Structure 1
Amino acid sequence: MARKSPLDDPRNAAFAWARYRRIMRFMFLLTVGVVAIAMALLYKQGNDEVSIHYYIAAALGIGFTMLLTSALMGLVFLSSGTGHDDSIDDPLSDQD
């Protein structure tokens, strides 16, 4: 039988999700800053023949990649930090 997860407790879950939202807020601000710097560098080094679509694609690519990566890593930290990973039953473990 599976052990009870620490995230089943509403207080632990509220704390963990608040920390996750705080991490995501920080990463959103960092992403906006990185995208702004990247756009400035691309504009400075680019030539006049570059389309606006190039800048849009670069901004969306950088932003989406950073936000998706931070969301997934934040979920890993949430799961590991709360002890949720330790509450599973491992059928392949040798400890019986």
Structure 2
Amino acid sequence: MARRSPLDDPHAAAHAWARFRRLMWLMLALTIAVVVIAMLVLWQQGALVSVHFFIASALGIGLTMLLMSALMGLVFLSNGTGHDHSVNHRLDGEDQAPD
């Protein structure tokens, strides 16, 4: 049987999710800054490219950074709250001493 997760406690879960939201707002601000800098660098290069190139570049950079931020944030949330330690690692038929 799986141990109880610390995220089952409403107070601990609220604190953890608030921390995750703060991290995501910070990463959104950083992502916007990086996209603006990247667009300025591309524009400074003076290449004759379509506006679609700028749109695709901005979306590619932005969505990639936000997806990476969300996934890494969830890893930090899971590990930082002790949720990872509540998982039962025992395989079927394998005898292990309980923790």
User: How high is the TM-score relative to the length of structure 1?
Assistant: 0.94
Q: Which residue does 1:53 correspond to in 2?
A: 52
- Tell me the CA shift for residue 91 of structure 1: 1.4
Cα RMSD for the two superposed structures: 1.2
Q: Which residue does 1:81 correspond to in 2?
A: 80
Deviations 1:20-70 (A, max 9, x none): 0000000000000000000000000132x2100000000000000000000
Structure 2 residues not aligned, in runs of 5+ = none
User: How high is the TM-score relative to the length of structure 2?
Assistant: 0.92
Equivalence map 1:20-59=2 (5 Å): 20-47=20-47, 49-59=48-58
In 2, distance between residues paired with 1:94 and 1:60? 50
Report how many residues are paired.
Answer: 95
Identity of aligned residues (%): 65
Structure 1 residues not aligned, in runs of 5+ = none
Q: Which residue does 2:2 correspond to in 1?
A: 2
Q: 1:35 to 1:94 in 2, by over 3 A?
A: farther
